[in-house]
Chain A
Amino acid sequence: MMADSDMPASRGGIALSTGAIAALIALITGAICIALEPVAPWLVKFPDAWTLPAAEWIGAGLSWFLDLIKPAMRGISALLAYPMAWANTLFTGMPWPLLIGLVTAVGWFIGGFWMAALGFVGLGFVLSTGYWLEGMATLALVAVSVPLALLSGGLIGILANEFPRFKSAIQTVLDVMQTVPTFAYLTPLLFLFGFGPVVGLIASAIYAAPPMARNVILGLERVESDIKEAAIMSGGTRLQQLFLIEIPSAKTQIMVGVNQCLMAALSMVIIAAVIGGFKDIGWEVLLTMRKAYFGPSLMAGMVIVIFAMIIDRYSSKLASDRVRYSLRVAVAIAMTGVILSVATWRSLPDPSEIALLDPVSNWLDTGLTAFLKDNGAGLDGLKNGAMFYGLLPLKIGLDGAVLPFTWGFAWTKGMSVALYAVAAAVGLLLAMRGRATLGITLVILVGIVETGVAELPWPFVLVGAGAIGWVSGGRKLAIFAVVMLALILFSGLWERAMLSLYMSGASVLTCAVVGGAIGLLCAVSPLAWRFVLPICDMLQTIPLFVFLIPVLMFFQIGEFSAFLAICLYAIVPMIRYTRHGLINTPDEMIEAAVSSGATEWQTMVEVRAPYAAPTILLGLNQTILYAFAMLVIAALIGTTGLGQSIYGALAQADVGLGIASGAAMAILALVADRLVQGFAEERRQALGL
């Protein structure tokens, strides 16, 4: 799989197909822009004078509106402070043997020994790191925000189901809510609710409600029509049908929503720590990371991972399995916790004083320092190599990145001409052999590498996106892509958006190639999948924030670290979908191929891969969305572009800039999403799926 700009090639074939025409138009636009740059520099760099001060306008408009609702919101904030204080007292005040006992008991009841062990060992670890109180503070936030999210999400889902007229509108809003980067929520919320944990609470409730709503809608939609009709024919009123039949029938899907809601809330609560004001585990990670105390930071990160794992496994077990284990054993475990708590009431050590793992943390710290000292040169080499020969040329082009002190020579005009000439020759050769689209696309790609994504002429980007949209989804999609991107252009955020595009493009490209290869390997070898599956599960459970810790440890702050963090997070869907698509070819098709005498490899290339194409494209789509989500988080450790703007806006409480940048980010993600989905849809239809 290649980046989306290469997609038209897969349609290939006859000279001047739609794909070839689209590619040709994009190529000509690009060529004209570059050729005319000396005469008309505005063709490449959009003049600032033409932009509209969108951020200021949004800021002014929103400030007015926010000021209007501020008193009401402050009221809500004051109101929410109560349950939060209660939850906080409950969680931090509860003797730890009691909580461990309860969690272990619940684990036993829903999942038997292994689930109980996960709860016991996990919380035991949390206790021994000395981060118990911070962890409990985080859990208290989650405990208040999740019911809010479940309730509002459930309500939205039910309303969408009851009033089909609004369903598509609601679904669009849910889409946007999940595409707008999490940090972008924080700025206006900060403005409304003031500093403090309530902002994190509300942000996490807002962020966690859409998955719940989505799953409720899906679950209710999927209730068999026979079941719905049976409820009607039994003489139930609408409310009886809904609450006695449809919702219970959709329970499995709704529980999936609860699971996703919990995970989203946890993730967001931790991200919200960047605004501070609350001594929770996210704040601890941030603090230790900033001080470069990697041992403690890793420990705090592990605490988050353990919470995530316990919450995830417990809630997904609830969703999937009906088997319940002995209640008696569970009660016995819980009682042990109670008795221990009462017995040691006075002598219970303060959980913050417990530092069983401090030696480990120290050892990690020194060990890591030693490792970095010994291998620093190698790591730097890796980093610089990737930067100089991969990321930088993509960002600012060969003409900017090829310098004597990195590449050993300087890029000259002559080299540009030679490169283009070679590309043109190869392209022409391909075109003459009937692969016109591929040929033109190749020339375009060479042009992009030569110029650099961040310095692409804006008309070329607009026309290119429109061309891809035209090929993947027809005129409507083309117009959508161009109009959306033009919005960014006129908002004055274009340069930052291109930087974001470069960063996400580089990560998505890497994820597509590496993830696709791993997916292929796992499809061929079940053994490999046995190793990869738990890693994928792990990577998908970890809250985004925690990804920053290991990359930071080894590669310090900078673009390369951000790039690695994004790749780590975004590669998972690519692996999963690729394998899933390749594995799930119908048996009959495989049997037909085998009985036609195809080798294993031929079956893979000729049958499995084409059949899997729509699924793999969906994986790519997910990877793109994941990359954009992580891009903003990665701004904490050094990306430029929109993510940085959003983060900066948060620090300065600049609502206009925060929202405008968030919207621009969402637009990039949405456009990429629609373009790739267009291709996936086209493939699905071509295969009659």
Chain B
Amino acid sequence: MTTETADIQPAISCRNVWQVFGQGAKQKLADALASTGGDSDAAARILRDQGLIPAVQDATFDVHPGELFVIMGLSGSGKSTIVRCISQLLQATGGEILIEGENLVDASKARLIELRRRKLGMVFQHFGLFPHMTVTENVAFPLKMQGQNKADRTKRALEVIDLVGLKGREDSFPREMSGGQRQRVGIARSLAVNPDIWFLDEPFSALDPLIRRQLQDEFINIQATLQKSIVFITHDIAEALKIADRIAIMRDGKIVQIGTPTEIVLKPVDDYVAEFSKDVVKGRHAKVASVMRASTADDKTPDDPGLRQNMTLEAALAKCISLYDPVPVWGDDGKMIGVVDPAALAAALQAEEA
């Protein structure tokens, strides 16, 4: 399912990760896997029959350096659990979790604390701000844990507070701020130690739609400059499609599909995934590249409306609404990389209506 690039070491790598809740989960999981010969669905069924709850079932995926990896699913699908496994807020019941090649499942407590102080940052759905600290103190807290002195950590905190646009609110307390502002503080705090790996657990879900969109845009800008490796949890397909490099869709603890936004929209593996993208206007997310074909000698391309490979279908269709012959598609480097039949464009958009 994953699109592996073997030569680069992934930032995060999950290998057959299980999280099972209940008494004696570890042993029972091992027994169930042994008795089914490794068939994860059958093993999960056995565990459920025993009254255990397999919240994450055999999850395997990689997150590449600098990639924004979104995990999406309905509530109860295990998406928050899996990010807690990776960040080691929960101890995974089975499997391996590697961060830059280091297996966290075996890591000592001291090593985990060290990793959290230097490498990992996390943003929470309900912000998790410390109510007894000012904005600056909140943001500087991870630096304080690192052992930085007050002057240094305040300086760094002010930088990040400026980055998230909260200049002037440094001495406010969380209770004096709006939801959107609070989450900016949460983001600033998670960035204070300049982590390589950034976890965001439904960071914008508790905000109202206008603020949500604003923060999403700012988040995309921040990520464009910082280039962190990100695991982003959401239940909102529009948000996922908007920000993701790749999306994993979860259902009942299982990852059912991993793919780029376009793949998720245009080639859902099953009805469950299709149901998610039903309300999405496909023309706005699918790119021209997805309906492009290689040019052949027969193709006459009398018209050139100037299609580019990463243009959305909607924009492309608007340009060739009255054309019938194939049109050329230009790559980022200005060379022609293929052609698109206007009929195919229309057909791709039509497919969603059915």
A67 contacts partner chain B, Cβ-Cβ < 8 Å: no
Q: Mark B131-156, 1 if CB is under 8 A from A, else 0.
A: 11000000001100110000000000
* Interface set, chain A 206-262, CB cutoff 8 A to B: 224, 226-237, 240, 244-245, 248-249, 251
Q: Known contacts A224-B126, A226-B127; is A234 also within 8 Å of B132 by CB?
A: no
Residues of A within 8 A of B125 (CB): 226
Question: Among A231, A234, A244, A249, which residue has the most Cβ atoms of chain B within 10 A?
Answer: A234
Residues of B within 8 A of A251 (CB): 132
Question: Among B113, B128, B146, which residue has the most Cβ atoms of chain A within 10 A?
Answer: B128
Contact A229 B131 (CB under 8 A): no
Residues of A within 8 A of B320 (CB): none
Interface residues on A, range: 10 to 19
Contact A229 B89 (CB under 8 A): yes
* Interface set, chain A 395-428, CB cutoff 8 A to B: none
B129 contacts partner chain A, Cβ-Cβ < 8 Å: yes
Contact A233 B87 (CB under 8 A): yes
Contact A235 B146 (CB under 8 A): yes
B328 contacts partner chain A, Cβ-Cβ < 8 Å: no
Q: Number of B residues whose C-beta is below 8 Å from A?
A: 30
Q: Mark A488-526, 1 if CB is under 8 A from B, else 0.
A: 000000000000000000000000000000000000000
Q: Mark B191-221, 1 if CB is under 8 A from A, else 0.
A: 0010000010000000000000000000000
Contact B113 A235 (CB under 8 A): yes
Q: In whole Å, how far is A140's beta carbon from the nearest beta carbon of chain B?
A: 33
Question: Among A230, A232, A237, A245, which residue has the most Cβ atoms of chain B within 10 A?
Answer: A230
- Chain A residue nearest to B120 (CB atoms) is A233
B124 contacts partner chain A, Cβ-Cβ < 8 Å: yes
- Chain B residue nearest to A240 (CB atoms) is B145
- Chain A residue nearest to B142 (CB atoms) is A234
B116 contacts partner chain A, Cβ-Cβ < 8 Å: yes
Contact A232 B124 (CB under 8 A): no
Contact A249 B132 (CB under 8 A): yes
Q: In whole Å, how far is B177's beta carbon from the nearest beta carbon of chain A?
A: 15
> How long is the Cα–Cα vector from A231 to B186 in the complex, in angstroms?
12
Q: Mark B59-92, 1 if CB is under 8 A from A, else 0.
A: 0000000000000000000000000100101000
Q: Known contacts A235-B142, A248-B130, A248-B132; is A229 also within 8 Å of B122 by CB?
A: yes
- Chain B residue nearest to A251 (CB atoms) is B132
Contact B116 A233 (CB under 8 A): yes
Q: In whole Å, how far is A1's beta carbon from the nearest beta carbon of chain B?
A: 39
Contact A229 B146 (CB under 8 A): no
Contact B145 A230 (CB under 8 A): no
Contact A249 B131 (CB under 8 A): yes
Contact B116 A232 (CB under 8 A): yes
Contact A230 B116 (CB under 8 A): no
> How long is the Cα–Cα vector from A251 to B133 in the complex, in angstroms?
13
Contact A236 B128 (CB under 8 A): no
Residues of A within 8 A of B129 (CB): 227, 230
Q: Which of A230, A240, A249 contacts B124 (CB 8 A)?
A: A230
Q: In whole Å, how far is A225's beta carbon from the nearest beta carbon of chain B?
A: 8
Contact A224 B114 (CB under 8 A): no
Contact A229 B142 (CB under 8 A): no
Contact B130 A245 (CB under 8 A): yes
Contact A224 B128 (CB under 8 A): yes
- Chain A residue nearest to B116 (CB atoms) is A235
Q: In whole Å, how far is B111's beta carbon from the nearest beta carbon of chain A?
A: 11
Residues of B within 8 A of A232 (CB): 89, 116
Q: In whole Å, how far is B130's beta carbon from the nearest beta carbon of chain A?
A: 6
Contact B132 A230 (CB under 8 A): no
Q: Which of A227, A240, A244, A248 contacts B128 (CB 8 A)?
A: A227
B121 contacts partner chain A, Cβ-Cβ < 8 Å: yes
Residues of A within 8 A of B285 (CB): none
- Chain B residue nearest to A229 (CB atoms) is B89
Contact A249 B130 (CB under 8 A): yes
Residues of B within 8 A of A248 (CB): 130-132
Contact A235 B128 (CB under 8 A): no
Residues of A within 8 A of B115 (CB): 235
B308 contacts partner chain A, Cβ-Cβ < 8 Å: no
Contact A236 B145 (CB under 8 A): yes
Q: Which of A227, A235, A237, A240 contacts B130 (CB 8 A)?
A: A227
- Chain B residue nearest to A246 (CB atoms) is B130
B254 contacts partner chain A, Cβ-Cβ < 8 Å: no
Residues of B within 8 A of A249 (CB): 130-132
Contact A234 B145 (CB under 8 A): yes
> How long is the Cα–Cα vector from A233 to B129 in the complex, in angstroms?
12
Question: Among B115, B141, B190, which residue has the most Cβ atoms of chain A within 10 A?
Answer: B141
Q: Mark A450-478, 1 if CB is under 8 A from B, else 0.
A: 00000000000000000000000000000
Contact B130 A233 (CB under 8 A): no
> How long is the Cα–Cα vector from A226 to B146 in the complex, in angstroms?
21
- Chain A residue nearest to B122 (CB atoms) is A233
B235 contacts partner chain A, Cβ-Cβ < 8 Å: no
Q: Mark B100-121, 1 if CB is under 8 A from A, else 0.
A: 0000000000000111111011
Residues of B within 8 A of A230 (CB): 122, 124, 128-130, 186, 189
Q: In whole Å, how far is A479's beta carbon from the nearest beta carbon of chain B?
A: 26
Residues of A within 8 A of B127 (CB): 226
Residues of A within 8 A of B118 (CB): 235
Residues of A within 8 A of B141 (CB): 234, 244
Residues of B within 8 A of A237 (CB): 113
- Chain A residue nearest to B125 (CB atoms) is A226
- Chain A residue nearest to B199 (CB atoms) is A233
Q: In whole Å, how far is B233's beta carbon from the nearest beta carbon of chain A?
A: 13
Question: Among A230, A233, A249, which residue has the most Cβ atoms of chain B within 10 A?
Answer: A233
> How long is the Cα–Cα vector from A234 to B199 in the complex, in angstroms?
12
> How long is the Cα–Cα vector from A385 to B255 in the complex, in angstroms?
77
* Interface set, chain A 135-150, CB cutoff 8 A to B: none
Q: In whole Å, how far is B157's beta carbon from the nearest beta carbon of chain A?
A: 13
Can you identify 14 A-B contacts, CB atoms within 8 angstroms?
A226-B126, A226-B128, A227-B130, A229-B84, A230-B122, A230-B128, A230-B189, A233-B87, A234-B145, A235-B118, A235-B146, A236-B113, A240-B145, A244-B141
B-to-A contact residues, CB < 8 Å: 84, 87, 89, 113-118, 120-122, 124-132, 141-142, 145-146, 186, 189-190, 193, 199
A-to-B contact residues, CB < 8 Å: 224, 226-237, 240, 244-245, 248-249, 251
Closest 10 CB pairs of A and B: A235-B117, A226-B128, A230-B128, A235-B116, A234-B142, A226-B124, A233-B122, A248-B132, A235-B145, A226-B126
Q: A230-B189, A249-B130, A251-B132 are in contact. List 18 more A-B contacts (CB 8 A).
A: A224-B128, A226-B128, A227-B128, A229-B89, A230-B129, A230-B186, A233-B89, A233-B120, A233-B142, A234-B189, A235-B114, A235-B116, A235-B117, A235-B118, A235-B193, A248-B130, A248-B132, A249-B131
